[in-house]
Amino acid sequence: MPRSTSPRRRAAVIALALVLTGALGGCSGTPAPEDTSEADAPASAIASAEAEAEDLAEDAPAADVGDLDVCAALPLETLNSITGRTYARIDGTTSDSQEYPLAACVYQAESDDLDKLLVFTVYVYPSGGEAAVAAYKDFIGTPDGYTPVSGVGDSAEATESDLIARFGDQVVVGIDVVSTEDSAALSSDQFAEIVQTVHDGL
């Protein structure tokens, strides 16, 4: 059975990933929801998130994020090396449907089978600094519960499923959206290496 973030957080992240990758238009490289039969993951949360994503996607113009290419900054082989996992599909795009424009890359395993599902997402807000950090937390609905992390960016904080790092006005977020039970949970050091690699590669 897949291991994931909390239902509200995961629903919000999947909603934004759907917007970014155009999943609602039938793109094949988008994250698939995990088994929603679990008591702590109501299907209504995912349905609500997907509906919100669809509304946002209909009118979302191209984001003003310059030439940021998150997928190029963190290639599949690099993410696989850092995490010890095997991601095989990659989708990158931009969005300004949120308060702060962002560029993103969504990484997935080859299989969409629930017991093999892997989804990792990286968001880059090119500007906004602390305000962009606050906007991200507000969007996913978890403003509290973060622990400071040293050694990456001007400031960084993490939960067990994501890390937010600020490099001046730029903010880089790494999110372990869905992983399998036999995949080791990512450490803060692994998250830090991922976001630092993205920042250095942009």
HEC secondary structure over the chain: CEEECCHHHHHHHHHHHHHHHCHHHCCCCCCCCCCCCCCCCCHHHHHHHHHHHHHHHHHCCCCCCCCCCHHHHCCHHHHHHHHCCCCCEEEEEEECCCCCCEEEEEEECCCCCHHHCCEEEEEEECCCCHHHHHHHHHHHCCCCCCEECCCCCCEEEECCCEEEEEECCEEEEEEEEEEECCCCCCCHHHHHHHHHHHHHHC
User: How far is 161 from 13, CA to CA, in rounded Å?
Assistant: 11
Average pLDDT over residues 129-135: 94
127 CB-contact burial (10 Å; exposed 0-12 / middle 13-18 / buried 19+): middle
Answer with the residue of higher pLDDT: 26 or 76: 76
pLDDT more than 70, % of the chain: 67
Quick one: pLDDT band at residue 40, thresholds 50, 70, 90?
Answer: very low
Owner of token pair 């880059």: 124
Average pLDDT over residues 94-102: 83
Q: Which of 57-66, 84-93, 107-116, 168-177 has the lowest mean pLDDT?
A: 57-66
pTM for the model stands at 0.75
Q: Please write the tens of the pLDDT for every residue from 69-83.
A: 999 999 999 999 999
Average pLDDT over residues 60-66: 56
Residue 7: per-residue pLDDT: 57
pLDDT surpasses 50 at 96: yes
Q: Within a 10 A sphere around the Cβ of 84, how many other Cβ atoms?
A: 10
- Quote the Cα angle for 181-182-184, to 5°: 95
User: How far is 16 from 34, CA to CA, in rounded Å?
Assistant: 16
Amino acid at 138: D
